[in-house]
Homo-oligomer: A and B are copies of this chain.
Amino acid sequence: MGLKVAVVGATGAVGTEMLRILESRAFPLDELIPLASSRSAGRTISFQDRDVAVQELSLDVLRGVDLSLSAAGASVARGFVREAAAAGTVCIDKSSAFRMEPDVPLVIPEVNPEALGASPRIVAVPNCTTIVAMMALAPLHRAARLRSLVLSSYQAVSGAGRDGTRELAEQIEKLHDQVEELGHPDLDALPSGDVFGKTMAFNVLPKVDAFAADGSTGEEVKTVQESRKILGIDDLDVAATCVRVPVPVGHSVSLLARFTRAITPDEARELLVDAPGIEVRDDPVEGVYPSPLEAAGRDEVHVGRIRQAPGHDDSLLLFACGDNLRKGAALNGIQIAERLFSTVG
């Protein structure tokens, strides 16, 4: 018999991807319960060619649910996950609420499946940028042990949810016929959005999430802390700069990774070609290198531009792109569920 599965945040950007992925995989689902805030409750979503009513999230409605796949934000997650888990629902949560809790495994199935060992009731899905970076680095880390990491990101607007995509779309609509004039912009006339704070169209913003006291953003702190937890290296040396770019879907990372032994680009390519969930796109002279638009809608993380860092035989430069809504969130959560409910080896 199949599972009773709730998708929390079913009408959002990640929730929608969860529904599509559940439809396309042989997941042992018996009943789907789409949940959302009161604002979206009452709407219907389409699932396996049927219309299903969206219900308002509550602990009551989660009673008897085997699995909660949550695409909601941290404050919503804090309001129900611990209680639902205590009542017997396995909660896979993509928010940042529980990622750093010592009793909650933070899991990318291809990277650290061993963290799922003790049949946990709550499992956290890492941050989307961290997932893309760790997918590219873990196969190399296993072979040559990662010593330090410098990361600069190029993050899609859908990382800020449907509102992020909508804000970019509105600004593009307003500015699409002014591209050639934006070299001397009238800043006062440019749209400044509620989601991104400054004009996102035709711009890049070195700000993802809120600023902390030390000048880092929440996203940068997450990337550092989560990388350490996932790889199990408490003192991993990580420097991260997280930047939003006017791309709808697909996060990219520029990586400089230093290992504890020499490693060549050829060895790295061999390791990555054999790694699950990775597609090596690294034949630059033939135009084969990763870009986020090519990674959007795909399950694999694309890795390319693999080079020796000049003068350092223990260091590699890489560029990786992954669908932030899929492998960066929805797919990763469903892969965790597949492991927990033993539909994969």
Contacts and interface: CB of A to CB of B under 8 A. Distances in A.
Interface of A: 150, 152, 154, 158, 165-166, 168-169, 172-173, 176-177, 179-180, 182-185, 187, 190, 197-199, 202-207, 211, 214-217, 224, 235, 237-239, 241, 243, 245-250, 252, 254, 256, 265, 282, 284-285, 287, 289-294, 296-297, 304-312, 315, 317, 319, 323, 325
B206 A249 contact: no
A204 B154 contact: yes
A182 B197 CA distance: 23
B216 A293 contact: no
A148 to B, nearest CB: 9
Given A185-B297, A215-B284, A297-B183, A203 B289 contact: no
Contacts of A289: 205-207
Of the candidates A190, A204, A246, the one having the most CB atoms from chain B within 10 angstroms of its own CB is A204
A319 to B, nearest CB: 4
A296 B248 contact: no
Contacts of A306: 215
Top 3 nearest A-B pairs by Cβ distance? A152-B152, A184-B297, A169-B179
A305 B177 CA distance: 32
Contacts of A252: 204, 206, 243
Given A224-B310, A291-B206, A211 B284 contact: yes
B224 A241 contact: no
B292 A204 contact: yes
- Central interface residue in A152, A216, A249, A306, by most chain B CB within 10 Å: A152
**Looking at A203, A284, A310, which has the most chain B CB atoms within 10 Å of its CB?**
A203
B182 A296 contact: yes
A315 B214 CA distance: 15
28 contacts: A150-B256, A158-B183, A165-B180, A169-B180, A172-B179, A176-B176, A179-B248, A182-B249, A183-B249, A183-B297, A185-B296, A187-B293, A199-B291, A202-B246, A206-B254, A206-B304, A206-B319, A207-B289, A214-B308, A215-B282, A215-B284, A215-B305, A216-B307, A224-B310, A237-B310, A239-B315, A239-B317, A241-B256
